[in-house]
Structure 1
């Protein structure tokens, strides 16, 4: 997992819960908290930080992941201005994730293993897609979709259904409200 993910997570923790909480989760995990954006790190280290934050705050791991996903959406969009030009809705943006974003990530970082989005169906009002990733961060994906809908000022009902028991494949059903 790329270091930028860790850096943005720690930034969110510090801005939301304070420097003390951020330092506490790092200390609990013997983590120095130093990540380079292009560096590659074990995703399990991020999971440990999220678990520690959940214990300290009393907020569920799933909710913390969703909040994180929602908070990083704007940074993701800002890092790829072409998507602002080519997308005018949540559904348009999502259809470009696999075709554009993940392709660009792989070009920039040859060793990157982004999740896969498999578009099952799409209409003007509904979209069904599968999130596939061994990292099992479907709640981050949920938050990203929320952030996307908020950015495009759309009300979208988001339903998640695990396809694989381990969370490595989750079906999202999105419905414009």
Structure 2
């Protein structure tokens, strides 16, 4: 997992919960918190940080992932200059993820393993897609979709239904409101 994901997570924790909570979370995991944007790190280290933060704040792991996903959308968008000009709606943007964004990420970082989106159906008012990832960060994906809709100033109902019990495949149904 790319370091930008870790750096953005630590920034969110510090901004939301303060430096002391951020440091306590890092200390519990014997983590120095030194991540470079281009570096590659084990996603399990992020999971450990999220679990610790959940214990420290009494906020569910799922809710923390969702808030993180929503907050990181704009930063990730900025990390790929020119991308936002290729779409004017949430659906258009999400439609680019598999065919453009993930391909560009793999070009930039040959070791990257982004999640896969399999599109089931698409109309003007509804999009159905499957999120597939061994990392099981579907709640982060949920938050990213929320962040995307907010960016495009659209109201979207998001339903998330697991296909695999372990969370490695989840179906999202998005409906324009």
* TM-score, reference length from structure 1: 0.98
- Please give the alpha-carbon distance, in whole angstroms, between the structure 2 residues aligned to 1:88 and 1:80: 16
Moved more, 32-41 or 48-57: 32-41
Report the 3-state secondary structure (helix = DSSP H, G, I; strand = E; otherwise coil) of the residue aligned with 2:82: helix
Report the 3-state secondary structure (helix = DSSP H, G, I; strand = E; otherwise coil) of the residue aligned with 2:117: strand
- Please give the alpha-carbon distance, in whole angstroms, between the structure 2 residues aligned to 1:174 and 1:81: 26
Moved over 4 A (4+): none
Alpha-carbon distance, 1:42 to partner: 0.8
Which residue is equivalent to 1:116? 116
- Please give the alpha-carbon distance, in whole angstroms, between the structure 2 residues aligned to 1:99 and 1:153: 23
Which residue is equivalent to 1:30? 30
Q: Equivalences for 1:1-177 in 2 at 5 Å? A: 1-177=1-177
- Please give the alpha-carbon distance, in whole angstroms, between the structure 2 residues aligned to 1:105 and 1:17: 31
Where in structure 2 are there 5+ consecutive unaligned residues? none
Moved more, 11-20 or 35-44: 35-44
- Please give the alpha-carbon distance, in whole angstroms, between the structure 1 residues aligned to 2:125 and 2:79: 28
- Please give the alpha-carbon distance, in whole angstroms, between the structure 2 residues aligned to 1:8 and 1:107: 22
Where in structure 1 are there 5+ consecutive unaligned residues? none
- Please give the alpha-carbon distance, in whole angstroms, between the structure 1 residues aligned to 2:74 and 2:63: 19
Alpha-carbon distance, 1:165 to partner: 0.7
Alpha-carbon distance, 1:23 to partner: 0.2
